[in-house]
Structures are given as structure tokens and as C-alpha cells.
């Protein structure tokens, strides 16, 4: 058992959200459920890529904000596209600089590793061109970052 686990408060979609998230990430699974009144599921423990999460059907008192988000490291543009498209589907919302909200209101950052590599270049002129290109994007497009970095 991991020492610290994110605990996510949903109105009444904890099980639905957990099933959605495990469908997106490899090496993911439902660990267990906590029964609630009238045979409904009150909570769900699940893992995404080895990270444990707990989701609760807590009611409408609290909602997610951008103050907390999940950062997804992506190796390729295909991986960025996969997570981006799936998470904004069915009511999710795009935002700037690789951020989005999924259909449950949870914020995610879908970020290619290339972004950190380009922005971390000691050549500040090239790094700044990559950063400025990223600031104009919603979904991060690696090829466009590279073009900006290269001065094209």
C-alpha cells in the first residue's frame, strides 16, 4: 500500500470515473469497492500506472478546481493525442498549455517529455522560442514546438 494516495470527491460518479480512467491507462485496475447504502458503490480504490487513487461518491458539496491537476508524462505525439482526445471527449474542456478538464471536472496536464527537454536547453533563445510556442497552444504539438525551437 502506498503511503499517500489522492482521494477524489465525486458527486455520484466515482465508479464510472474510475472505470473511465482505467480504460485510458495501461497497467491500471480497480483494486476494490466500498459498498454504500441501497447496494450502491460509495467508494472505489483504483490504480493508474501503479499510482493508487481513491474515489468517493460524496455528493454535490465540493467540486474539482484547477488548483489540483494530474500531470501525464507522454513520450510521443500519439500518446499526447490519445490522452487529450479521450479526456476531452463527452463534455471535457480544452484549456491552454496542455491543460484540460475531463467530463467530471478533474484537471489534467498532458505534456510531452519533449517540452521539458526543449525548454530546458541552455540556449535560452531556442528554449524561449519553444516556450512561446507552447503558450499559444491548447494541446501540445511536438512538431510545432520543434519548429519554433529550430527558428522555423
**Structural domain harbouring 46:** 1-62
Contact 72, 28 (CB under 8 A): no
- pLDDT for residue 38 is more than 90: no
pLDDT of residue 37: 85
Inter-residue contact 84 to 96 (CB < 8 Å): no
Residue 60 has pLDDT above 80, yes or no: yes
Task: Answer yes or no: do 33 and 83 share one domain.
Answer: no
Q: Are residues 51 and 86 in the same domain?
A: no
In this structure, the answer to whether residues 95 and 107 fall within a common structural domain is yes
The answer on 5 and 28 residing in a single domain is yes
Q: Are residues 90 and 148 in the same domain?
A: yes
- Per residue in 79-119, pLDDT (tens digit) is 999 999 999 999 999 999 999 999 999 999 999 999 999 99
Contacts made by residues 82-86, CB under 8 angstroms, sequence distance 24+: 82/24, 83/24, 83/108, 83/110, 84/110, 84/139, 86/24
Average pLDDT over residues 36-42: 88
* pTM, rounded to two decimals: 0.94
Same domain, 82 and 114: yes
Nearest one of 42, 66, 52, 57 to 21, comparing CA atoms: 52
Amino acid at each position: 500500500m502506498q503511503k499517500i494516495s489522492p482521494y477524489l470527491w465525486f458527486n455520484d460518479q466515482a465508479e464510472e470515473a474510475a472505470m473511465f480512467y482505467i480504460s485510458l491507462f495501461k497497467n491500471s485496475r480497480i483494486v476494490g469497492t466500498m459498498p454504500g447504502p441501497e447496494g450502491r458503490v460509495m467508494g472505489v480504490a483504483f490504480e493508474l500506472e501503479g499510482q493508487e487513487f481513491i474515489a468517493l461518491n460524496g455528493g454535490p458539496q465540493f467540486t474539482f478546481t484547477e488548483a489540483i491537476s494530474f500531470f501525464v508524462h507522454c513520450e510521443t505525439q500519439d500518446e499526447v493525442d490519445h490522452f487529450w482526445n479521450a479526456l476531452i471527449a463527452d463534455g471535457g474542456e480544452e484549456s491552454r498549455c496542455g491543460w484540460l478538464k475531463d467530463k467530471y471536472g478533474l484537471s489534467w496536464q498532458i505534456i510531452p517529455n519533449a517540452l521539458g527537454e526543449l525548454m530546458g536547453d541552455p540556449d535560452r533563445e531556442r528554449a524561449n522560442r519553444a516556450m512561446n510556442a507552447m503558450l499559444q497552444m491548447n494541446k501540445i504539438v511536438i512538431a510545432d514546438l520543434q519548429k519554433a525551437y529550430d527558428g522555423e
